[in-house]
Every structure is written in structure tokens, then in C-alpha cells.
Amino acid sequence: MLYLRNLIYHPTACPTAILKSIDLELAPQQLGLIIGPSGSGKSTLLEILSGLAEPTSGGLFWREQELIPEQLQQLAGLVFQFPERHFCGSSILEELRLGHPELGSDRVKHALSEVGLEHLSLSTAPHALSGGQQRRLALAVQLIRQPNLLLLDEPTAGLDWSMRRQVINLLAKLKQDWTLLVVTHDAGDLLAIADRCWTLNHGELKSVDSKTLEVKVKEPLPTV
């Protein structure tokens, strides 16, 4: 279980806090979805949850234990927005083993099969993959470390309809084994697989019922 308690992020150079008194709870094997417009603080929150930035005040807890950034780096796996832009291996194998040369072929195969890419040759260049496959490889790069919490920044951004479907089906499958927190400015069909939902506006997080959001999204636009 992940808990955030009264978490505030207010860099001294900023006139107002970027994250304001965030409270959040996420149970194991659930998918939490945070929906907020551009600039609302979504990526900043994921940076804090993955131990890349330190909150100004408040606490992060995993089960009963309060965590410091170094522990969060171990616990969480962050998939950046447009993760394919950060690929630097020349092959799938190299990409998966970056920073973990000790990982054996069993772990490599397992990570690829979790994201449905086990049929590809390990020597394939990451840039030769389709957009949906690249997103799945970026997930495998995190899963191979077996983090307790998987964080995804705009996982469906820039994908066409069929590739969005691939990613959403994969996230629905992954939540059977992992705890996922997804942030997006465009919830769309991610709502259907979310167990918990929040909106984030100007750094303020509010819990919402995903069912009410779903209805709103599906309502046709009024015709004039």
C-alpha cells in the first residue's frame, strides 16, 4: 500500500507551491489514474514518487514504512513521457540490460514476455519497433528491475487508436501483478481500467469517482 501524507513541493524560486498538500492511497494490484491539464504538477509528482526530487514537506509511506528518496528509487519504476526518446541501447537486449549487465537471459525473456514482445529478436534495434512496441519495451525496461510500484507519465500520448489499445490492454494485464500509477492530461479509455481516480489542478489533488468521469467523457458534444 502506498500512502502520501500532506505532501508539499514548493521550490524556493516558485511564488506558489507546485504540489499542495497531496494525500493519496493506492492499494497493491490497483491502477490509480491522475488526470490533470498541462502544468498541473503531474510529472513533478512522479519525480517525487520515483525519488528523483525531494518533497518540501510531508511523507511517503510504503506499507507502514516512511521512505527516503534512495528507497523510492529502488521501489518505483518510472516510465517517462515519450520514453522512446530516451532509448540508448543499440538492440532490445542492450536496452534491457543498461545499468544491469548482471541480469541473466531468464530475466530478459520474462520481462519481454510480460509486455508481449517475446517473439522479437533480441538484436532488433529499439528504433525499428512500432510506436506501440516501443512503449511496451520501455515498460519492460522498468519491469526487469521488478519494482513494487510502476509509474507512467502520459503512457498513451502521441499514439494512434490501435497503439493506444495495445498499451491500455497491457496496463490492464499488468495490474494483476503490479501496482500502477498513471498520470495523463487525456484520460479517455484509461478510465475503464482505473481502480482509483484523482484530478490534479494547480497542484491540488482531489479524489473522484471514475464512473462519473466516464459518463462525462462519453456524453456527446452539444449540437448548436
CB of 201 to ligand ADP, least distance (A): 10
Name 204's Cβ contacts closer than 8 Å, sequence gap at least 6: 20, 21
DSSP secondary structure letter of residue 92: H
Phi/psi of residue 3, each to 5°?
-125, 135
* 8 A C-beta contact, residue 217 and residue 188: yes
CA angle 23, 29, 35 (to 5 degrees): 45
Stretch that binds ligand ADP, among 36-44, 122-130, 135-143, 191-199 (CB under 6 A): 36-44
CB of 108 to ligand ADP, least distance (A): 31
**Contact between 158 and ligand ADP (CB under 6 A)?**
no
**Contact between 176 and ligand ADP (CB under 6 A)?**
no
**Contact between 41 and ligand ADP (CB under 6 A)?**
yes
Locate 70 and state its grid cell.
534512495
Region of residue 146 (left: phi > 0; alpha: psi -120 to 50; beta: else): left
Instruction: Tell me which of 36, 51, 77, 126 binds ligand ADP, using CB under 6 A.
Output: 36
Q: Which residues on adjacent β-strands are paired with residue 61?
A: 3, 66
The whole-angstrom separation of Cα 157 and Cα 43 is 14
Stretch that binds ligand ADP, among 42-50, 93-101, 121-129, 134-142 (CB under 6 A): 42-50
Partner that binds at residue 39, options Mg ion, ligand ADP, none, CB closer than 5 to 8 Å by kind: ligand ADP
**Contact between 18 and ligand ADP (CB under 6 A)?**
yes
CB of 149 to ligand ADP, least distance (A): 18
Instruction: Tell me which of 8, 21, 23, 43 binds ligand ADP, using CB under 6 A.
Output: 43
The whole-angstrom separation of Cα 5 and Cα 66 is 10
Interaction mask 27-66, Mg ion, x per CB under 5 A = ---------------xx-----------------------
Q: Binding-site residue total for ligand ADP (CB under 6 A)?
A: 12
CA distances to 138, 221 from 224, rounded to whole Å, are: 44, 9
Footprint on this chain of Mg ion (rule: CB under 5 A): 42-43
Footprint on this chain of ligand ADP (rule: CB under 6 A): 11, 13-14, 18, 36, 38-44
